[in-house]
Amino acid sequence: MTPRGQPDAHPNTPAATPAGNGSVPTRPPVVVRRLTEADPIPLITALLHRAYARQVSLGLRPLAARQDDDVTRRRCASGECYLAFGEEDPGRPIGVIILNENEPDEGPPWFMRPGVASFSQLAVDPEMQGRGIGQMLLAKVESRAAEAGNQELGLSMAEPDDQLRDFYKRRGYRIVGTWKWPYTNYISLIMSKTVG
Ligand SMILES: CC(C)(COP(=O)(O)OP(=O)(O)OC[C@H]1O[C@@H](n2cnc3c(N)ncnc32)[C@H](O)[C@@H]1OP(=O)(O)O)[C@@H](O)C(=O)NCCC(=O)NCCS
């Protein structure tokens, strides 16, 4: 188990390309660690709004695209929230995910099954997408869910977002149902991956 606030270092290194001087250029490291009380909630809210803007442009109304800081604080505190940070600006979160968020609204039956954990509010700053940071955040909650004895890790995503569905399918998630959350204007796909 990762103690609260302890980072998981990850080199986030692309395919090694030897430089002329024999050294191997790498991207700056990214660390994933648990949210602490010192972390800036407004920066997380702003990151969520930027990341979910693409779904808004598709006509969707995800909560994360419009939630205020109080909602971000409540959501992050209700489960295990992890943040990703780059080395360039170690005080600015560039990614976020919540394991086992305690939702006030009724959730899909799949999430209630014994041995099923779930995650939510996954986002990576659009400027930093495509570098494996989303994969790092997923790997963190998948390993945490397995360590806690779960067999499955579920998620809920906007059904019309084909690109996102394919992102999860390539990472081993399969469709197990649908759900309609009261605060959105779309049906959600419930997907799940065997982790234990
Ligand atoms: C889904 C999301 C978290 C993925 O984060 P990410 O850091 O880009 O993820 P990764 O870098 O691990 O993988 C990105 C994928 O897009 C590809 N990609 C390539 N270039 C890319 C680019 N410029 N921008 C985005 N993705 C790119 C990557 O190759 C990878 O595809 P793969 O499945 O073939 O490996 C991010 O796109 C996001 O924040 N989306 C908006 C919020 C959202 O929809 N969250 C999920 C709600 S359920």
Q: Does residue 19 carry a pLDDT above 50?
A: no
How far is residue 113's CA from residue 192's CA, in Å, rounded to a whole number? 12
- Choice from 118, 121, 129 to test ligand 1 binding pocket (greatest atom count within 8 A of CB): 129
pLDDT at 3: 42
CATH homologous superfamily for the domain 29-194: Gcn5-related N-acetyltransferase (GNAT) (3.40.630.30)
Ligand 1 centroid–CA 167 distance in Å is: 7
Contacts of 68 (CB under 8 A, 6+ apart): 45
Q: Compute CA distances 74 → 48, 71, 99, 101, 174, whole Å.
A: 14, 5, 14, 10, 29
Q: Does residue 18 carry a pLDDT above 50?
A: no
Ligand 1 pocket residue status of 134, Cβ below 6 Å: yes
- The structure's pTM equals 0.89
Ligand 1 pocket residue status of 184, Cβ below 6 Å: no
Closest protein CA for atom 48 of ligand 1: 157
Average confidence score pLDDT of the chain = 90
pLDDT at 88: 87
Residues 97 and 82: beta-carbon distance below 8 Å: yes
pLDDT at 139: 98
Ligand 1 pocket residue status of 167, Cβ below 6 Å: yes
Q: Does residue 191 carry a pLDDT above 60?
A: yes
